[in-house]
């Protein structure tokens, strides 16, 4: 939690700025309040957001509030200028208490799930993005900003799929599936591949050894429940499943590696 004071307002959120207060009245979304001192405080909680862009948005909110002295106007500006998209902020809360003279800013940002490579049918042209836990695709710089703040550790698994599937919204289904992965299994997830025939393949890394899991074109969620049980059992038996074929939901075909 960061607190900002004025009449001269010093904001330390990755950048420093000085803001001067000129009015002795504040208008909130509920209408004008009583007269008060110009000594206002601003508190900013950036949560899990990357400091630089979220801090910039906090500064923009403060400036907008100083100019309009209206929470409603500030929220409209956030919407019109698309600050949430621009600064990677998924959700926010802004409130002002005229008695304590504190403007509270709370930001929330999504959790990155996978690095995504989206390719066209020729598999030559492609672009990259970050899939986050609300199903959106963000610019790859989002990951870099989080790592710079040490708010993201460990490697992200890769997701590769054709652009046609992204247009159909398949990423929403995949998001739901992998967001709910058991943590121990999620740590083993290395790569996810969806081919042009909508067949899903998962590459796991178990003690440095790859395991290929074939899930076919349907019933992914049910098959992944089975996969979790299989991997857990095989680890107890100290065996590495080199191939796990779950394309037929009624039977499982497993090929083993040697012992750990």
Q: Which domains does the chain have, with CATH numbers?
A: 2-108 (no CATH), 112-259 (3.40.50)
Residue 134 predicted with pLDDT over 50: yes
Nearest residue to 57 via CA among 14, 20, 98, 22: 14
Query: For residue 50, what pLDDT is reported?
Result: 96
Average pLDDT of span 245-249: 90
Residues whose CB is less than 8 angstroms from the CB of residue 255 and which lie 6 or more positions away in sequence, other chains included: 241, 242, 243, 244
Residue 234 predicted with pLDDT over 90: no
Tokens 């899930």 correspond to 215
Residue 109 predicted with pLDDT over 50: yes
Q: List 82's β-bridge partners, or say none.
A: none
Residue 10 predicted with pLDDT over 60: no
> pLDDT tens digit string along 165-200?
776 678 888 898 888 888 888 889 999 999 888 899
Tokens representing residue 67 in the block? 């100019």
Which range among 32-41, 69-78, 168-177, 230-239 has the greatest average pLDDT? 69-78
Which range among 50-59, 65-74, 95-104 has the greatest average pLDDT? 50-59
Average pLDDT of span 95-121: 89
The number of residues in the chain equals: 260
Q: Where are the alpha helices (DSSP H) in 117-210?
A: 141-148, 163-167, 170-179, 183-186
Average pLDDT of span 192-218: 91
Return mean pLDDT, the chain: 81
CA distance 260 to 257: 9
């Amino acid at each position: 939690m960061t607190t900002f004071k004025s009449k001269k307002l010093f904001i330390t959120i990755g950048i420093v700025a000085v803001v001067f207060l000129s009015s002795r009245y504040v208008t909130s979304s509920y209408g004008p309040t009583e007269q008060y001192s110009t000594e206002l405080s601003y508190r900013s909680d950036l949560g899990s957001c990357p400091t630089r862009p979220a801090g910039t948005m906090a500064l923009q909110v403060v400036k907008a509030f100083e100019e309009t002295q209206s929470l409603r106007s500030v929220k409209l500006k956030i919407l019109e200028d698309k600050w949430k998209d621009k600064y990677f902020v998924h959700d926010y809360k802004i409130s002002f208490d005229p008695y304590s003279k504190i403007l509270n800013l709370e930001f929330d940002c999504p959790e990155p799930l996978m690095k995504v490579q989206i390719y066209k049918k020729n598999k030559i042209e492609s672009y990259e993005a970050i899939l986050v836990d609300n199903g959106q695709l963000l610019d790859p710089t989002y990951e870099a900003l989080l790592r710079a703040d040490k708010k993201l550790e460990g490697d992200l698994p890769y997701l590769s799929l054709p652009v046609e599937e992204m247009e159909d919204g398949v990423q929403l289904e995949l998001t739901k599936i992998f967001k709910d992965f058991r943590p121990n299994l999620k740590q083993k997830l290395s790569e996810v591949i969806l081919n042009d025939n909508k067949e899903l393949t998962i590459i796991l890394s178990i003690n440095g050894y790859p395991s290929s899991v074939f899930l076919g074109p349907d019933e992914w969620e049910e098959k992944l429940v089975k996969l979790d049980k299989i991997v857990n059992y095989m680890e107890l038996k100290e065996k590495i499943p080199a191939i796990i074929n779950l394309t037929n939901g009624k039977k499982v075909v497993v090929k083993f590696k040697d012992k750990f």
